[in-house]
Amino acid sequence: MQTLIPPSASGVVRPVGRFGRVFGFGLTTRAILILLGGFLGAVPAFFHAGKPWPMFVWDAVVLVLVLFDLLLLPPPSAITVTRRFIHSPAIGQRSEIQLEVLHDARRPFDVFLTDDLHPSLAAAPLTAYVKAFPREPAVETLNFTPRERGDFSLGRIYLRVRGALGLVERWAVVEMPQAVRVYPSSVRPEESTEFYLIRARQIELQKRRLRMRGMGRDFESLRDYRDSDDLRNISWTATARRAKLIAREFVAERSQQVWIVLDAGRLSQTAVELSNRPALPQSAIRPAVQEETLFSVTQLDQATNAAVMLAQVIGGSGDKFALLAYGRSIQQLLLPGGGPAHLRLFIDLLSSVRSERAEANHLQAASKLKNLQRRHGLVIWITEIAESANTPEILAALAQLERHHVVILVLIRHPELEALASRTPANAEEMYASAAAQEVLDRRRVQIVQLQQQGVLIVETTGAEAGAAAVSKYLEVKAKSLL
């Protein structure tokens, strides 16, 4: 989304340190090697005493060239640097920034830039090289992969400006305070054919639903009364005007309200290893950075990614979507709405949701949702059932909601636990671990059956597939007219 791209920042270069104007430069590797070559002029001194003068002449010439190269360097104040984000940064997706150098000096020179990004955006500082010509922007594009959601502050970019002879370079820095927000990973249509298919299916379901008359409570039109009509549908005011029975005709509700509820409690801190996927076409990424790398994301990060995908599909179908993210207390709350502005606000709030170390207060979240959503609606709750000797609190919370709403419970499944339960133990320690895993899974299955008997719709999936699984269940609910 273009509206989520951080604004660009620019700054004027200044010398490093208090005495940077005088001492803020150094010799390059080329200059040092040339100076070391002057020792060859001292070779005759080993054979003829008192004749090391060729070495001193050589060093003097080199130092004069160094001074000349230094004088040709532009002053730091003549250089302006701009940092520009090409895409809205999303967790786990490769993004691009552009570093632009512009100066009004008379001669071109080489610039080496080091952008010390926040560690959550890049594990190591990003480096770039540009050839800066007078009054012509020199641009270099860098790739990075954010590893955390939230707001981060960017600051300095360090420069090494090298002269025409390549003998000396000036050290400088530019202060560029810039606020950047890393969003949940959003689904980009050009990256997934499946997303197009989901959208096509939900649009067709929407058209079919709008043609269903008499099954909702949204007023459509007036018509003559029929014997099969409900007496409650008679419009008595129209009947009085026309002196005959007139009935109101209804259609299925055209705008349902869907709440996306995220559990940010203790279990949401569970980390998994994923490979990053590029946010850009592979042709736009340099071969050196096309290889996938592994990084850790939490269960909450995967849940926020699924929430963004859900919001996109729900909004595209004409329904209104809302957000409730909670831990021990309510972290983020967004009332039902639709449209691009509402989606942007939805994503903004999701980027600020944080995992908590304590167990989440499910009953408080259910009570809050009951007070806010009194009309029949759909609740998509992304959570995990905590392992407890007593009845988990989430079961009681869902029992409060399923009486008035359609509830889809998206449970994050952990394949490693199933693998532990199914393996053949080699010793007593592994036997105890496998038995414990089997007990946890058995208790979980019993709880899932209890929820299904109460009328809760269950979706068991991995964190990486939570978005697609939740969207499929949402479309299934719409197809069956359960709302």
CA 79, distance to chain mean position in Å, is 33
Residue whose entry in the numeric block shows the structure tokens 């003559």: 224
Homologous superfamily in CATH for domain 257-479: von Willebrand factor, type A domain (3.40.50.410)
Res. 287 pLDDT band, cuts 50 70 90: very low
Residue whose entry in the numeric block shows the structure tokens 């170390």: 357
Res. 1 pLDDT band, cuts 50 70 90: very low
What local confidence, expressed as pLDDT, does residue 206 receive? Answer: 58
Highest mean pLDDT among 349-353, 443-447, 460-464: 349-353
Q: What is the mean predicted confidence (pLDDT) over 129-140?
A: 91
What local confidence, expressed as pLDDT, does residue 191 receive? Answer: 46
Is residue 369 predicted with pLDDT exceeding 90? yes
In DSSP terms, 158 is beta-bridged to 114, 173
What local confidence, expressed as pLDDT, does residue 482 receive? Answer: 73
Is residue 380 predicted with pLDDT exceeding 90? yes
Res. 407 pLDDT band, cuts 50 70 90: very high
Res. 252 pLDDT band, cuts 50 70 90: low
Considering the chain, what percentage of its residues have pLDDT values greater than 90? 23
Distance CA 307, CA 383 (A): 12
Residue 424 CB neighbour total at 10 angstroms: 7
Token reading at 50: 């008192």
Q: What is the mean predicted confidence (pLDDT) over 139-153?
A: 90
SS3 135: coil
What local confidence, expressed as pLDDT, does residue 426 receive? Answer: 84
Is residue 219 predicted with pLDDT exceeding 80? no
Is residue 450 predicted with pLDDT exceeding 70? yes
- What's the residue count for the chain? 483
7-30: pLDDT as tens digits: 899 999 988 866 666 677 888 888
What local confidence, expressed as pLDDT, does residue 84 receive? Answer: 92
What local confidence, expressed as pLDDT, does residue 462 receive? Answer: 84
Token reading at 409: 């419970």
Residue from 156, 187, 159 nearest 171 by CA: 159
Tell me how many degrees the CA angle 350-467-263 measures, rounded to the nearest 5.
45
Report strand pairing: 406-412 vs 378-383.
parallel
Where would I find the beta strands (DSSP E) of 252-399? 257-263, 271-275, 277-278, 294-298, 320-326, 330-337, 378-383
What is the DSSP annotation of 301-342? HHHHHHHHHHHHHHHHTT-EEEEEEESSSEEEEEEEE-SHHH
Res. 334 pLDDT band, cuts 50 70 90: very high
Res. 207 pLDDT band, cuts 50 70 90: low
SS3 187: coil
- What mean pLDDT is reported for the chain? 81
30-66: pLDDT as tens digits: 888 888 877 776 666 666 665 667 777 887 888 888 8
Token reading at 460: 């068991």
Contacts 24+ apart (CB under 8 A), 244-248: 246/222, 247/222, 247/223, 248/219, 248/221, 248/222
Query: What does each C-alpha distance from 102 to 51, 156, 162 come to in angstroms?
Result: 50, 17, 15
Distance CA 125, CA 114 (A): 6
Per-residue HEC secondary structure of 42-111 comes to HHHHHCCCCCCHHHHHHHHHHHHHHHHHHHHCCCHHHEEEEEEECCCCECCEEEEEEEEEEECCCCCEEE
Token reading at 133: 């010509």
What local confidence, expressed as pLDDT, does residue 22 receive? Answer: 67
Q: Domain residues of the chain, as ranges?
A: 2-25+74-182, 214-251, 257-479
| Out of 210-214, 392-396, 410-414, least confident range | 210-214
What local confidence, expressed as pLDDT, does residue 113 receive? Answer: 93
What local confidence, expressed as pLDDT, does residue 288 receive? Answer: 38
Q: What is the mean predicted confidence (pLDDT) over 343-354?
A: 91
What local confidence, expressed as pLDDT, does residue 427 receive? Answer: 86
Homologous superfamily in CATH for domain 2-25+74-182: Immunoglobulins (2.60.40.10)
Task: Confirm whether 2-25+74-182 and 257-479 share one CATH topology.
Answer: no
Residue from 266, 293, 252 nearest 92 by CA: 293
What local confidence, expressed as pLDDT, does residue 258 receive? Answer: 94
